[in-house]
Chains A and B, each alone.
Chain A
Amino acid sequence: MQVPAYVDYERATSVEHALALLARYGPGARVLAGGHSLIPMMKLRLAQPETLIDINPLTELDYVRLDGGELRIGALTRHAGLLGSPLAGAAAPILHDAERVIADPVVRLWGTVGGSLCQADPSEDLSAAFAALKATMVIAGPGGERTVPARMFHTGPYETVVAPGELLTEIRVPVAPGGGSAYVKVGRRAGDWPVGAAGAAVRLDGNVITSAGIGLTAVGAEHFCAAEAEEALRGAPATEESFARAGRLAAEHCRPVTDQRGPADYKRHLAAELTVRALRRAADRARGPGRGA
């Protein structure tokens, strides 16, 4: 029988209240959103907070909207909510690609976008998707709001820049015409964490790539991205040759480890191949009519 260790529980009723509770209970407090990563971690004693601050009543953080050329996603948006959002699907189809293969439909009803990001599992899907999209994270704290690029959000496995006393409130994704994005994942079975996965977001001018974002997860990529591959793509034609070169660079610069999901050399192979597939699909979408990032 797996049961969390003793913990205290507080229910927040607003962002301000959540911040006040986090301040009151200090570094031993942990934000509880959907709980679908945190509660299993607590059962295994991999997380042992003293106090849970339940933010589920904060419906003001559950939204997907377009605002000022950005797709804005509230941190308490459920995975099913993001997957069910036509706005998100049109502006950043990579997010729907990723959400379709995150856990299973029942888990997606409860798990949250912000919770997944803050859990910061090194195999987490949205971390790679938002890295590819060059998203921005909005973090509320006692001194007000601050923003952090998605690529600076994670400081290590299961660690983020969100300090004790702070709360991730929103993810902002830049949206502009001429963009396309896609996410491709290989897992062992339905609903599993990836063996490897790649996301790509490109902007095209004609057939020239004006900007490229590549996100990688589960393969030991620094900041969940493939900076060298992105650099090589800028100004290059959107061709199979360019994509193959980017795939090779992505694979060269990641540091996968052998674990129960697969050997390191296979994961490196996936980093290359899935980068190519994600770029191919992202470029196809960028060429299609009426697409965003």
Chain B
Amino acid sequence: MRVTVTVNGAERTAEVEPRLLLIHLLRDHLGLTGSHWGCDTSNCGACVVLLDGKPVKSCTVLAAMADGHRVRTVEDLERDGRLDPVQEGFARCHGLQCGFCTPGMMLTASWLLDHDPDPSPAAIREALSGQVCRCTGYENIVRAVRWAAARRGAGPR
């Protein structure tokens, strides 16, 4: 079947089997390898992208279900050579080591800040509770999101 998905603002069309998972459409058909393919069981959250603005574990959605919808991936966070505050926060606060979970973490964090501009550490932990980091112990991820919230709150740079 033919699917057309608006990915990072651009319409992309691909001929796929209906069983194809969204993560594989993004990585294998569209070459967007920033979204990571992790546990394959909707537990780890490495594959989180935004579908119609909401985070989703893209190993648990068919590409067919995204037909006609909008997807945003980590590749779209940076704009005109400027990092998104969430990306900058992760860099400054050492919110990553190996980086495998980071794209998914940042997209969920970005969605959280859209809905809760000044989240408490507890709210950040709750929002990210379906995503697993095996390096950092989460402490620095929470700090990174808090940093991003403060930067966003300071208004556009």
Contact = CB atoms under 8 A, between A and B. Distances in A.
Interface stretch (B4-12, B76-84, B85-93, B122-130): B122-130
A230 interface: no
A3 B19 contact: yes
B60 A40 contact: yes
A62 interface: no
A35 B54 contact: no
Contact of B19 (A6, A40, A103): A6
A35 B21 contact: no
Interface in B14-63: 17-19, 21, 24, 40-43, 45, 48, 54-57, 60-62
B21 to A, nearest CB: 7
B135 interface: no
A236 to B, nearest CB: 38
Contact of A35 (B61, B108, B130): B61
Nearest to B127: A105
B98 interface: no
B42 A36 contact: yes
Contacts of A105: 126-127, 129-130
Given A7-B19, A191-B130, A106 B57 contact: yes
B154 interface: no
A56 interface: yes
B122 to A, nearest CB: 12
Contact of A9 (B18, B21, B48, B108): B18
Interface string A25-55: 0000000100110011011000000001010
Contacts of B64: 9, 11, 54
B150 interface: no
A2 B41 contact: yes
Given A9-B18, A39-B61, 9 more contacts: A4-B19, A6-B17, A32-B62, A36-B42, A36-B57, A43-B40, A43-B41, A110-B60, A191-B129
Interface of A: 1-9, 11, 32, 35-36, 39-40, 42-43, 52, 54, 56, 103-107, 109-110, 190-191
25 contacts: A2-B40, A3-B24, A6-B18, A8-B18, A32-B62, A35-B60, A35-B62, A36-B60, A39-B21, A39-B62, A40-B60, A42-B19, A54-B64, A56-B65, A103-B130, A104-B45, A105-B127, A106-B45, A106-B48, A106-B108, A106-B130, A106-B131, A107-B60, A110-B61, A191-B129
